[in-house]
Amino acid sequence: MGLRPARCYHWDSPAYTRRSNNPADSFITGIPGSKLAHYNMGNNRGDFDTEISIVSNMRIQIRHNALEAARIAANKVLEDNMGINNYHFKIRVVPHHVMRENVMATGAGADRVQSGMRGAFGKPMGYAARINKNQAVFTVFLKKTDDKMKSVKRAMRIAMSKLPGDMKIVVEPVKR
């Protein structure tokens, strides 16, 4: 089965926390690992004067696998067009929110073994990053030239196509 649609996971769903008298029992177990592997790509120590960011226009949750797909697509375009030493690509959000799912049985006789919505807290299914309005999701730092700006904007548009919600590209000088 594929992923459940985003409408199943609203922002107002409570964070998955568990508190117990025994601190060892407070840890959440059975969470699949995050697919997001790298948060900084390119030249981390370069001297750059411009930053181009993908900024969210709304409050939204983005799954870890969508962030990883956007990261891979954007970084490939940046590497191919600019070279690895001419940019610093940074992921500005971290998926901490654990999504959970009340798995329902299907097939003949499922109604006899299922308890419906009784005890429907759910099992962990993955991570999501909670993003506020006007928060940067990805940022690319570079030295400003016209051909590099076009390459970065193209990479950002490709990354935006992999992300849910309404996003915009913002260009500004690096804040020191």
Say which residue the tokens 């001419």 belong to: 86
Which amino acid, residue 93?
Answer: V
Q: Which alpha helices (DSSP H) does the chain contain, by range? A: 64-82, 110-113, 146-161
Whole-model pTM: value is 0.83
Q: Are strands 97-101 and 50-56 parallel, antiparallel or unpaired?
A: unpaired
Q: What band does 18 get if pLDDT is binned at 50, 70 and 90?
A: low
The pLDDT tens digits for 72-96 are 999 999 999 988 999 999 999 998 8
| Residues 139-166 pLDDT 10s | 999 988 878 889 999 999 999 999 998 9
Q: Which residue has the tokens 């990261």?
A: 71
The confidence score (pLDDT) of residue 32 equals: 81
Q: Where are the beta strands (DSSP E) in the chain?
A: 40-42, 50-56, 60-63, 87-91, 97-101, 123-131, 136-142, 167-173
Question: What pLDDT, on the 0 to 100 scale, is given for residue 17?
Answer: 63
Give the chain's domains with CATH numbers: 30-100+121-173 (3.90.1170.10)
Backbone CA torsion sign across 145, 150, 153, 154: negative
Phi and psi at 145, nearest 5°, equal -145, 155
Q: What percent of the chain has pLDDT over 90?
A: 43
Q: Which of 71-85, 95-109, 129-143 has the lowest mean pLDDT?
A: 95-109
pLDDT band of residue 99 (cuts 50, 70, 90) is confident
Distances (CA, A) of 99 to 14, 16, 92, 106, 154: 10, 7, 20, 22, 31
